[in-house]
């Protein structure tokens, strides 16, 4: 999560409110809902970081 904050410029509150449905895996962007100025925005995500997020999510599924 720290890497996501650092590479995408996200705030702690934005990462804590992040849901899988906000990640656009095809266009490689994340929808940030209700950011600092109460506006939704999109931030790009690199292919490498997207792979790490997918790996993290796969691990979360296995634990449940």
Domain ranges of the chain: 2-63
The confidence band for 1, taking pLDDT boundaries of 50, 70 and 90, is confident
Q: What is the pLDDT of residue 34?
A: 76
pLDDT at position 59: 82
Residue 49 pLDDT greater than 80, yes or no: yes
pLDDT at 16 over 80: yes
Return the pLDDT at 58: 86
Position 64 pLDDT exceeds 70: no
pTM: 0.77
With the C-alpha atoms ordered 55, 13, 5, 26, is the resulting torsion angle positive or negative?
A: positive
């Amino acid at each position: 999560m720290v890497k996501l904050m650092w590479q995408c410029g996200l705030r702690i509150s934005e990462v804590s409110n992040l849901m899988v449905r906000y990640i656009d895996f095809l266009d490689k962007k994340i929808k940030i809902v209700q950011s600092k100025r109460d506006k939704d925005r999109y931030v790009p995500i690199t292919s490498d970081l997207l792979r790490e997020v997918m790996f993290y999510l796969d691990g979360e599924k296995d634990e449940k």
